[in-house]
Amino acid sequence: MNETTRTALRARAWLVGITALCGLWLVQNGAATRTDPPRPAAAEAFAAGPPPRVAATAPLPRSEPVRIRIPRIGVDAPMTRLGLRADGSLEVPPARDRNLAGWFAKGTPPGAKGTAIVAGHVDNAQGPSVFYALGSLKKGDRVEIGRGDGRTAVFAVDAVEVYANDDFPDRRVYGPSPDASLRLITCGGAFSRTTGYQGNVVAYAHLTGVR
Amino acid sequence: MRSPARLATGTAAAALTAAVLGLAATATVAPSAYADDAGRLEFAPATAPPGAQVTVNTGACGADGSGFGDAAELEAGEFELEPLSGAGATGRFTVPAEAEPGTYAVGVFCDNGDEASGEFQVTAASSAAAAGASSGGSSAGSSAWPKAPAEREPGAGKKPEPGTGTGTGTEPEPGLGVRPEPATPSEAWPDRPSGHVSAGVGGSVGPGTTRIAAGAGVLCAAAVAGACLVRRRAHGAQDG
């Protein structure tokens, strides 16, 4: 083997060595970090300023929601009915179905006059669920709800906020509203293995169109 | 470098979007398509001084007779509606002690989508005796309200309730239920949720799997390259 070849081989050996080290570092670093579901940015809170003005549309007659789509975060899921638990809190859809959202059926159906309440899991034991990316919604984002009467109610997001469980603003989230409003709720906030999620992410939206 | 065809298509699409957005922006909220459906609210008493309890009746809300009233303009907050025998709903609010005399809009939003509104007049505190005594058509006697609670409140000649809204608590009426201001939202809204939602267990919280996968890929590539090198070296040693 001549000198040039030996040098070339040595250079390549170094390259391989460095690459291997990089790979090792990536694996180690990845194992050491933790990824949580996205949390709403401060700019998306009510306090950060008004959302881009999207005119409200007159409310629709009541009709059962059957599908929810949020194009920007890739949500496209069927909807089920939710009631109340014994403690008065909102039921959630069965956790094992990772692509299912629910609406509070004793309340206002989405698109009708009043406050429609929709909830979905952020994750289950196996991984991310239907509302995993809810915290990454931004003001002005579009939410579409397909209804049993064939129409699609289109909403625009007004704000996305995160609340601690023990300081949950019931009236603001569940209280009545004079036009067709929507609330999307999931778990969020701080997480620890022992206590689970410490809060809820709530996205507020109002009806802006019908298709 | 964009082809002219792509540029043209892009511009056309942009123009179309702008036109649609422009149209959407000019579309205002439909002028109360519900104007015909909107009922009237009737107050008993029709006017009252601060501290008085006012009953609100409406023919809206259908047989269900459920919903919420909004007296926020008076700073009296929201109040619950209960069914009236026959059709309609009734509710109650207390004029806050600090309310200024004037006319305020009060609205009612029914669970069935109906709405109704009315104007309530707050009188000055000293004119308590004059107020409420069937002034005007809107409080035209209890004949207008079947089984209306108006019987209980013959105008503001009665001692005004404490402004803090602790409720009467003295004359229980079956069906209507005299009850104090709700302490928790679930009392005011028996059919609405309260509290946070339990919708996650943390199964999505985990290590940086993307980085781990990338690292593993890089390691594999390095391993393969290393193997090739060793082979090459062996060959080179043989030939050289």
- Give A150-186 pLDDT, tens digit per residue: 999 999 999 999 999 999 998 889 988 888 999 999 9
Considering the domain A42-210 in this protein, what is its CATH number? 2.40.260.10
Any domain includes B135: yes
Q: How confident is the model at residue A188 (pLDDT cuts 50, 70, 90)?
A: very high
The predicted pLDDT at position B36 comes to: 37
Q: Residue A146: its pLDDT value, please?
A: 97
Pick the residue from chain B with its C-alpha nearest to A34. B207
Would you call A26 and B214 a contact, using CB atoms and an 8 Å cutoff?
yes
- In this predicted structure, which of A95-104, A105-114, B126-135 has the lowest mean pLDDT? B126-135
Which one-letter amino acid corresponds to residue B178? V
Identify the CATH number of the domain in which residue B89 sits.
Answer: 2.60.40.1930
pLDDT at residue B19 tops 90 = no
Q: Which residues of B98-118 are buried (b: 16+ CB within 10 A; e: fewer)?
A: ebeeeebebbbbbbbbbbbbb
pLDDT 10s digits, A103-149: 999 999 999 988 999 999 999 998 999 999 999 999 999 999 999 99
- CA–CA distance, B68 with A140 (Å, rounded to integer): 29
Q: Two tokens at A211?
A: 């298709």
E strands present in chain B = 39-44, 47-48, 53-58, 67-70, 78-83, 89-94, 102-110, 115-122, 206-207
Give the nearest chain B residue to A177 (CA atoms): B109
- At B89, the pLDDT band (50, 70, 90 cuts) reads confident
- Shortest Cα distance from A193 to chain B (angstroms)? 7
pLDDT: which is higher, B117 or A14: A14
pLDDT score at B148: 35
Buried b (16+ CB within 10 A) or exposed e, B142-159: eeebeebbbeebebbeee
Highest mean pLDDT among A21-30, B107-116, B178-187 belongs to A21-30
- Report residue A201's pLDDT band, with 50, 70 and 90 as the boundaries: very high
Cross-chain residue pair B240–A29, CB shorter than 8 Å: no
Contact B49, B99 (CB under 8 A): no
Q: Are strands A180-192 and A114-120 parallel, antiparallel or unpaired?
A: parallel
Distance CA B240, CA B238 (A): 6
SS3 A7: helix
Number of domains chain B is built from: 1
* List of chain B residues whose C-beta atoms are within 8 Å of the C-beta of residue A27: 211-212, 215-216, 219
Domain with B105, as residue range(s), is 39-154
Q: What is the mean pLDDT of chain B?
A: 67
CB environment B36-45: b (16+ within 10 A), e (fewer):
eebbebbbbb
Residues of A in contact with B232 (CB under 8 A): 9
Assess if residue B13 is contained within a domain. no
Mean pLDDT (whole number) for A84-100: 94
- B237 shares contact with chain A (CB less than 8 Å): yes
Residues of A in contact with B207 (CB under 8 A): 30-35
pLDDT of residue A83: 94
Examine the pLDDT at B106 and tell me if it is beyond 50: yes
Q: Can you give the pLDDT at residue B5? A: 61
- All residues at 6 or more sequence positions from A132 whose CB lies less than 8 Å from its CB, including other chains: A37, A38, A122, A123, B204
Which residue in this structure is represented by tokens 């009392």?
Answer: B187
Residue B187 distance to chain A (closest CA, Å): 10
| Set of chain A residues whose Cβ sits within 8 Å of the Cβ of B200 | 37, 121-124, 129, 186-188, 196-197
Tracing tokens 């989405």 back to the chain, one arrives at: A110
Element (H, E) at B6: helix B4-26
Flag whether B85 is in a domain: yes
**Chain B contact set for A171 (CB, 8 A):** 185
Predicted TM-score (pTM) of the model is: 0.54
Q: How far is B55 from chain A (nearest CA, A)?
A: 20
Instruction: Provide the pLDDT confidence category of residue B184 given band limits of 50, 70 and 90.
Output: very low
Span A68-81, pLDDT tens digits: 999 999 999 999 99
Question: B111 in a domain, yes or no?
Answer: yes
CA–CA separation, B217 vs B211, rounded Å?
10
**B113: Cβ contacts below 8 Å, ≥ 6 apart:** A59, A61, A62, A112, A113, A114
Question: Residue B218 domain-assigned?
Answer: no
CA distance, residue B6 to nearest chain A CA (Å): 25
Q: What distance separates the 2 farthest-apart alpha carbons in chain A?
A: 86
CA distance B223 to chain A (A): 7
Q: Is residue B60, in this structure, part of any structural domain at all? A: yes
Kindly list the domain boundaries of chain A, sorted by start residue.
Answer: 1-33, 42-210
B20 domain residue, yes or no: no
Of B36, B57, B62, the residue nearest B46 (C-alpha): B57
